[in-house]
Structure 1
């Protein structure tokens, strides 16, 4: 959940930056002085690295389970569609027989 929020925040920040850059007149862009570069982010601690590795492992496991479930559901769907087609063919055959029998009764 935190990762989704972070991605969303980054995307919104990027959109805001692009929009603000597009809204600035060209001659004003040349006059602006670049702000000094921010200090690099501090190195993550070993505990943070461990949590990140564990979160990535859990994510990979969940993705694998989701792929297996998707594959299983796709096979079940294909099997159900095949059964549906077979039942439809049987129904069509029965309806054809019913029509034939009804037409015989009318002609006599």
Structure 2
């Protein structure tokens, strides 16, 4: 039986679920766990040639990465995960910073669609 956990779903929906209880999903290292899950998921999708219609839509993760590059002048050498981990002192602080930046990103994206 094929699992359709992510069919027609988005990263935003998944993140809102995780946000309520990150420890339940990723233990004491939620940002690292999230990054590892996304990286593994991307590899599995490619390896198993999962059709786009059955994939978790992660397009906003790439847009978030590009937004951070513009906002903070990040180079191409690191992505969103390393940027946040390197600017914080703990996993808890990194998770909170990620959520703060994610919310700001979504707000900017929403504002840009209004005009």
Q: Do both share a fold (TM > 0.5)?
A: no
Larger Rg: 1
TM-score normalised by structure 1 residue count: 0.27
Q: Which has the higher contact order (CA 8 A, sep 6+)?
A: 2
TM-score normalised by structure 2 residue count: 0.25
